[in-house]
Amino acid sequence: MNNKQNEIKNQVKQHYGKRARQASKLTTLQPLEALRCADGTTKTDMDISLGASPNIYVRDDLLGVPSEAIASSAGCGNPIAFADLQLGERVLDLGSGGGLDCFLAARKVGPTGHVTGLDMTLDMLELARNNAQKLNIVNVEFLEGFIEAIPLPDRIVDVVISNCVICLSPDKDAVIRESFRVLTSRGRLHISDMVTLGPMPQELKEDSHQWARCASGAEEAEAYMTRLESAGFVEIKMKYDGDPQSQENNMPDLIAVKIVAYKP
């Protein structure tokens, strides 16, 4: 990893570390009060700008989930909604943040299934583990590590999910290669992520602050699909999920996507 890539990763860590620390202060909020913040406007006195797209979760699904998990949520979609998770499946969440998607996945796979959340930011891991404890949930674990070097053996999970994280990686080929490696045969990827509607200017690709807000690291849909195909994935499908978000200063518009792909 070169210096620029390290700088980007450190910036991303700082950004999400701060978000985790802010969310962990929300202990007095009820879950649905915290959710109201996800509507785009900040309704607490804390500066938490949540979620690239508002209302991405169904309220009923969030009942019983700790406010801190909801408040730290920074996804751009809801991979659980299209992952069709089955009882007993083993799931890996790349960049699990405060754990919200892991907890929703855990309900779907049940006690015979298992969910692993992987994240590099220690404050996020601590928040996710505290949230798991509050939920008294036993089929979820959170691992520290990089999505570019997944600390799991080959062919160990049935499903890889991820929510607005791969666009943050400075080495996307490694992330896709590693996802392929840990999936079982016929294992599948269900990813929510951001793509651009046009090429990202080089000077913006170097801007680690823009990178950390899930912008500069995003790439065009075609490049994303080609990466998946080159790694060996088949039956790759990508759909837009919402409306384009216009940007300033020469940055191309961004749009959330849902991606599904299979390991042969």
Ligand X SMILES: C[S@@+](CC[C@H](N)C(=O)[O-])C[C@H]1O[C@@H](n2cnc3c(N)ncnc32)[C@H](O)[C@@H]1O
Q: How many residues bind ligand X (CB under 6 A)?
A: 23
Judged by beta carbon, residue 12 or residue 106, the one nearer ligand X is 12
Residue 183, Cβ neighbours under 10 Å: how many? Answer: 25
Q: Are 103 and 69 in contact (CB under 8 A)?
A: yes
Fill in the amino acid letter for 242: G
Q: Are 97 and 124 in contact (CB under 8 A)?
A: yes
Q: Is position 163 an interface residue for ligand X (rule: CB under 6 A)?
A: yes
Residue 186, Cβ neighbours under 10 Å: how many? Answer: 10
Residues 168-207 that bind ligand X (CB under 6 A): 168-169
Structure tokens that stand for 167 in this block: 């666009």
3-state SS class at 99: coil
Q: For ligand X, which residue of 26, 105, 115, 124 counts as binding (CB under 6 A)?
A: 124
> Contact region for ligand X (CB under 6 A) — 30-38, 83-91, 143-151, 203-211?
143-151
Fill in the amino acid letter for 129: R
Q: For ligand X, which residue of 8, 11, 16, 190 counts as binding (CB under 6 A)?
A: 16
Q: Is position 147 an interface residue for ligand X (rule: CB under 6 A)?
A: yes
Q: Are 218 and 245 in contact (CB under 8 A)?
A: no
Q: For ligand X, which residue of 8, 70, 91, 120 counts as binding (CB under 6 A)?
A: 120
Of 211, 116, 125, whose CA–CA distance to 169 is shortest?
Answer: 211
Give 27's DSSP letter: G
Q: Is position 74 an interface residue for ligand X (rule: CB under 6 A)?
A: yes
Judged by beta carbon, residue 144 or residue 222, the one nearer ligand X is 144
Q: Is position 121 an interface residue for ligand X (rule: CB under 6 A)?
A: yes
Q: Is position 119 an interface residue for ligand X (rule: CB under 6 A)?
A: yes
Q: For ligand X, which residue of 23, 34, 71, 75 counts as binding (CB under 6 A)?
A: 75
Tokens 């298992």 label which residue?
Answer: 114
Chain residues binding ligand X by CB under 6 A are 12, 16, 73-75, 95-97, 100-101, 119-121, 124, 146-148, 163-165, 168-169, 214
